[in-house]
Structure 1
Amino acid sequence: MKALFTNTALVLLSFGTLLSSCSKPPQSQKTGMTYNNRNNGGYLRFKQTHPTPGPGLVPIEGGTFVLGGSADQDVTYDYNNVRRRVTVPSFYMDETEVSNQDWLDYLHWINITFPNDGELYYNALPDTLVWRKPLSYNEPYVENYLRHPAFQDYPVVGVTWDQAQDYCIWRTDRTNENILRENNYMMTWKDAAGGGKKGAAPAAGAQGGLKEPFNTDIYLNGQIRGAGVDGKNMPKDNNPNVAPGTAKGGPRRPVRIEDGILKQGYRLPSEAEWEYAALSLAGNTEFENINDGKIYPWNGLGVRSPNRKTRGLILANFKRGAGDNAGVGGGLNDKADITGPVRSYEPNDFGLYNMAGNVNEWVADTYRQTSFEEVEDFNPFRGNEFTNKRLADPAKGLYAKDKYGRPIKDPAKSNKKLKYSDMIAQQQGLNNGTAAGTTPATGATVPLTTPNSIKYSGKAYNPDFRGASDSVNTVLYGTTTLVNDHSKIFKGGSWNDLAYWMNPATRRFMDEDESSAEVGFRCAMTMVGAPEIHPEGKPHLPVKKAKPYKAK
């Protein structure tokens, strides 16, 4: 028996050696050069991967649907959701709304990272005064709703659109920093805290050995590295211009976007993404045929469960009628008087909770009544403000940073890639404290190459496309109109709304620096690569691999 085991082991070992000898390093299909070889120049090819979603997210397989199509009536006579067939690419979306606990994590980080910056902490606080009503005793919610542990898994409210945007940036950086540290691409949390030794002081306080808080853009630009920062598992650097050094296994480098390790940025979903995800028609689709439409995130025309075990139960947290926010004592219909826990009720077919009721949710779009008629039919969105990262050193490509370690961004000055000389001149003007494209003395335009937008149309390039040529004058905001470029959309209905507003096609707006006890948010993330999420069990056309090239 022992001899048999030994012979089997030898056969397996020989087979494994044969396989390893047959496997060749990847090579360029166009030049035949071997990749990842320091001796021939270190051309890089990374393992092709389909990234997993970031923490808290679920994948949403995109496709075509009718934007505004689930609205069967326009009771407000706004005429602002005209039906339009569009395509939404696959993306990721938060399984739940952002909760009070999630926001307290954010506040805690600000407190320990910038303990002397009272302004930053104050600006991040939700406005708990949104609970105050002149003829309603809601004062206890002002003090308790955000911080009391009884409400920790309830959705955060009183948050402005601007605050939600800042949270998305913070969440992106904390998630990516944690990925790097947990995998030792950067110094681990334990090592940064003194190796866990008793009495050892954390390196550089709450920033884990960094002089400034971690920022994803700054890290990917190679501006966060060095002693006390680099981890033991950093990828090998095959660049032949880098000195070999004394590091075990050769020189190392920071993670790059090509490695596929870091996550895309968290952000607010677009209006089209939010509506598509709320409807979740994928659950009613077979062979590209939608068997049944929806007017809510669940099937059917009613708001009660038709299932045997839960028959008659309300499917969302909303207001049934005037004065009825919860139902009758002893048998509360939706189990909530104000908001409810973010995992209440059944998720929709995409696995998303509370896409109707509980709280309305901010989306990224700027409001215009005619957006559905004007936006592109692929990945529709109204809110683009094109920016470029300012360079502190244009020759070295180093980004300029603000006092919180984040890149400074300026409005884009061209609709195309500038010539190198024009880019250098523009960046030097910014670093000298002048507006891009002007001289400090006269304000005259710097003699850069004339962009095509001016050359052919006579109009200067506009980096802000939120208005999309809309002529509404912001001076008249509040006088003749409540709509301007600061008007942002929220959707979904809330605990204090009637059932009509739970229809995913309904849309309302509020100024980006206003907040409400009925408005919260959830985050989304762009998906890169193939849009199909579950290819298993489906027919596919075969794809042939490239034949290896042999130099003769």
Structure 2
Amino acid sequence: MRLLTNTALVMLGLGFMLSSCSKKEQSQKTGITYNDRTNGGYLRFRQNHPSPGPGLVPIEGGTFVLGGSADQDITYEYNNIRRRVTVPSFYMDETEVSNQDWLDYLHWINITFPNDNELYYNALPDTLVWRSPLSYNEPYVSNYLRHPAFQDYPVVGVTWNQAQEYCIWRTDRTNENILRERGNLVSWKDKAGKQGQGNAGAGTGADQPFNTDIYLNGQYRGQGIDGKKMITDLNPNAKSNGTGKNGRAVRPVRMEDGIVKQGYRLPSEAEWEYAALSLAGNTQFENINDGKVYPWNGLGVRSPKSKTRGLILANFKRGSGDNAGVGGGLNDKADITAPVRSYEPNDFGLYNMAGNVNEWVADTYRQTSFEDVDDFNPFRGNEFTNKRLADPAKGLYAKDKYGRPIKDAAKSNKKLKYSEMLALQQGGQAAGANQQAGANGNSAQLANGATPTKDPLAGKAYTADSRGFRDTVNTALYGTTTLVNDHSKVYKGGSWNDMAYWLNPAARRFKDQDESSAEIGFRCAMTMVGAPEIHPQGKPHLPVKKAKPFKAR
């Protein structure tokens, strides 16, 4: 009897599941059924909280005091004035980018563009950063990047610009791998076989490397590209190309499917500082029980735990001439850098957020950054761009020789009328030439009809407006009267060659975006979409009722 009851319960549960699955969702505003080919194929996608990309861990955002962990200002720069801000939830690399990670990048360039020596050369880190007039560091010049002994050590000698390029490359390779593994694109094995047949995809776009933006815009399709498990296209106007089951029309993945990952990027300065402090481990019921000076608790730099008592918690320079300690009892177990998973992670699970190498962040440096930024998701350095259209009528992007969309400086801070957009795209070259002439002071009028004036200090033409969108001169005179300019980028965290002061998450320095150092590396971040709460399980929530289905009468 008991067995019969259990079986009946199981069958009842399965029946309920099947009946609930068979009911398609409806529009809450029109009552139209979603995902039904017969009524027009209106699409509704499963709402989900996407998993992070490879190498990333989730960081639950919240409010904190930017610059609040700084307990002294030994440089007297007053560049980290305390300010309360909110950082949205995001993802961040568990570790710094390693030499092996960078060698993967170089290998891809070598096999994809074997004859483009300039591209490969520009991607090489500057290993000459190890040279010092009064130090014998020459072995590191040849060995640090390429020798297997250093493969898990953080890559150095990388400029801010090179780090940005790596983020773009990593985004495309991650999404390409996801789509090939899922069958939305031709598999790696089949792709390799087609390459062995004399580039069977030539002329279809298959001979160009995958780019996420180009793919999502529907410009990466055809023979040698489309996979065997593409998504069925419910659009009644879609035409079959013979690759779908039973001759059905298929389509590439869209952003709305929630399959491709958001782009990898450098973290903002606020994100980096928030993640390094990891105050979530000291928080209960919105109360921070204990502040931090470092990514770990306490005021010291040694472990208080019984098994590791006295051990240094990060890789830094303990004092002048003391990079590693005494032979037979090395204090931080490293003389230069250390492997990226050395030492204990902080409460967010991030390794080496203090010491080992400083890390580039996305922000442009200003001494007054903490006073002049927004209090939600603060960031300085926005350069808004639009993807150039090769065919405005069809919405096709223009591509560079590497298969990536060409981006132009944004001409407006709002959506243009369709006629304005077409005119801007079709007359873009003439307008660009006109604006360039105006910027050089050779024209009495800019393309937008505004009359330029001249800045007496910089000698550059600019047009003032209430928001400063059209200004080409910084009114704060950065770059004119100081060494700080728009190419000055922030780095944080302290390194193997820094004193403990620089391990404080609030400490900040800057370097030109084209310069590099043996003490600076980086890690990537990724924007989180959807709900900000990372672990909602076991936490109280206000009930949310589901919409009632509409029944036509």
TM-score, structure 1 normalization: 0.91
Cα distance change, pair 136–530 in 1 and its aligned pair in 2 (3 A):
same
Equivalence for 2:454 = none
Indicate the SS of the match to 1:261.
Answer: coil
Counterpart of 2:239 in structure 1: which amino acid? A
Is this contact kept in 2: 1:202–1:208, CA < 8 A?
no
In the TM superposition, residue 10 of structure 1 has moved relative to its aligned partner by 9.1
Question: Deviations 1:343-386 (Å, cap 9, x if unpaired)?
Answer: 00000000000000000000000000000011000000001001
In the TM superposition, residue 126 of structure 1 has moved relative to its aligned partner by 0.3
Equivalence for 2:97 = 98
Equivalence for 2:400 = 402
In the TM superposition, residue 431 of structure 1 has moved relative to its aligned partner by 5.5
In the TM superposition, residue 208 of structure 1 has moved relative to its aligned partner by 12
Question: Deviations 1:59-112 (Å, cap 9, x if unpaired)?
Answer: 000000000000011111000000000000000000000000000000000000
Aligned equivalents of 2:374, 2:267: Cα separation in 1:
16
Indicate the SS of the match to 2:177.
Answer: helix
Aligned equivalents of 2:316, 2:43: Cα separation in 1:
54
Counterpart of 2:312 in structure 1: which amino acid? I
Counterpart of 1:274 in structure 2: which amino acid? W
Equivalence for 2:229 = 233
Indicate the SS of the match to 1:362.
Answer: strand
Counterpart of 2:234 in structure 1: which amino acid? N
After the TM superposition, which residues 74-153 of structure 1 pair with which residues of structure 2 at under 5 Å, given as runs?
74-153=73-152
Aligned equivalents of 2:448, 2:316: Cα separation in 1:
59
Structure 2 residue corresponding to 1:459, chosen from 443, 447, 465: 465
Is this contact kept in 2: 1:340–1:358, CA < 8 A?
yes
Equivalence for 1:168 = 167
In the TM superposition, residue 460 of structure 1 has moved relative to its aligned partner by 8.4
Aligned equivalents of 2:436, 2:214: Cα separation in 1:
27
Equivalence for 1:312 = 310
Indicate the SS of the match to 2:84.
Answer: strand
Corresponding position: 1:471 with 2:472: no
Q: Which runs of 5+ in 1 are unaligned?
A: 451-456
Cα distance change, pair 438–149 in 1 and its aligned pair in 2 (3 A):
closer
Aligned equivalents of 1:506, 1:8: Cα separation in 2:
63
Indicate the SS of the match to 2:337.
Answer: coil
Cα distance change, pair 222–444 in 1 and its aligned pair in 2 (3 A):
farther
Equivalence for 1:185 = 184
Counterpart of 2:103 in structure 1: which amino acid? L
Aligned equivalents of 2:268, 2:524: Cα separation in 1:
10
Equivalence for 1:29 = 28
In the TM superposition, residue 8 of structure 1 has moved relative to its aligned partner by 8.4
In the TM superposition, residue 226 of structure 1 has moved relative to its aligned partner by 1.1
After the TM superposition, which residues 190-339 of structure 1 pair with which residues of structure 2 at under 5 Å, given as runs?
190-194=189-193, 210-244=206-240, 246=242, 247-249=244-246, 250-339=248-337
Aligned equivalents of 1:464, 1:167: Cα separation in 2:
30
Aligned equivalents of 1:380, 1:419: Cα separation in 2:
30
Is this contact kept in 1: 2:240–2:250, CA < 8 A?
no
Counterpart of 1:108 in structure 2: which amino acid? H
Aligned equivalents of 1:280, 1:202: Cα separation in 2:
50
Indicate the SS of the match to 2:299.
Answer: coil
Aligned equivalents of 1:14, 1:301: Cα separation in 2:
60
Equivalence for 1:43 = 42
Counterpart of 1:518 in structure 2: which amino acid? E
Is this contact kept in 1: 2:201–2:223, CA < 8 A?
no
Equivalence for 1:453 = none
Equivalence for 1:481 = 482
Cα distance change, pair 18–545 in 1 and its aligned pair in 2 (3 A):
closer
Is this contact kept in 2: 1:67–1:505, CA < 8 A?
yes
Indicate the SS of the match to 1:119.
Answer: helix
Indicate the SS of the match to 1:93.
Answer: strand
Equivalence for 2:53 = 54
Cα distance change, pair 126–203 in 1 and its aligned pair in 2 (3 A):
farther
Indicate the SS of the match to 1:373.
Answer: helix
Indicate the SS of the match to 2:63.
Answer: strand
Aligned equivalents of 1:442, 1:436: Cα separation in 2:
8
Question: Deviations 1:129-156 (Å, cap 9, x if unpaired)?
Answer: 0000001000000000000000000000
In the TM superposition, residue 301 of structure 1 has moved relative to its aligned partner by 0.5
Is this contact kept in 1: 2:45–2:256, CA < 8 A?
yes
Equivalence for 1:416 = 414
Aligned equivalents of 1:465, 1:263: Cα separation in 2:
35
Corresponding position: 1:529 with 2:535: no
Aligned equivalents of 1:74, 1:483: Cα separation in 2:
19
In the TM superposition, residue 466 of structure 1 has moved relative to its aligned partner by 11
Indicate the SS of the match to 1:181.
Answer: helix
Indicate the SS of the match to 1:194.
Answer: helix
Q: Which runs of 5+ in 2 are unaligned?
A: 452-462
Is this contact kept in 2: 1:155–1:339, CA < 8 A?
yes
Cα distance change, pair 487–323 in 1 and its aligned pair in 2 (3 A):
same
Cα distance change, pair 521–447 in 1 and its aligned pair in 2 (3 A):
closer
Is this contact kept in 1: 2:204–2:223, CA < 8 A?
no
Counterpart of 1:357 in structure 2: which amino acid? G
Equivalence for 1:507 = 508
Cα distance change, pair 492–15 in 1 and its aligned pair in 2 (3 A):
closer
Is this contact kept in 1: 2:199–2:207, CA < 8 A?
no
Q: Which sits farther off after the overlay, 9-18 or 136-145?
A: 9-18
Structure 1 residue corresponding to 2:425, chosen from 424, 427, 434: 427
In the TM superposition, residue 234 of structure 1 has moved relative to its aligned partner by 1.1
Cα distance change, pair 444–42 in 1 and its aligned pair in 2 (3 A):
farther
Corresponding position: 1:352 with 2:360: no
Cα distance change, pair 164–436 in 1 and its aligned pair in 2 (3 A):
farther
Aligned equivalents of 1:181, 1:32: Cα separation in 2:
36
Cα distance change, pair 226–465 in 1 and its aligned pair in 2 (3 A):
farther
Aligned equivalents of 1:80, 1:391: Cα separation in 2:
41
Equivalence for 2:368 = 370
Is this contact kept in 1: 2:316–2:497, CA < 8 A?
yes
Q: Which sits farther off after the overlay, 519-528 or 19-28?
A: 19-28
Indicate the SS of the match to 2:427.
Answer: helix
Aligned equivalents of 1:232, 1:549: Cα separation in 2:
37
Aligned equivalents of 1:17, 1:97: Cα separation in 2:
50
Is this contact kept in 1: 2:94–2:351, CA < 8 A?
yes
Equivalence for 1:454 = none
In the TM superposition, residue 248 of structure 1 has moved relative to its aligned partner by 1.1
Aligned equivalents of 2:470, 2:68: Cα separation in 1:
29
Corresponding position: 1:383 with 2:381: yes
In the TM superposition, residue 236 of structure 1 has moved relative to its aligned partner by 1.1
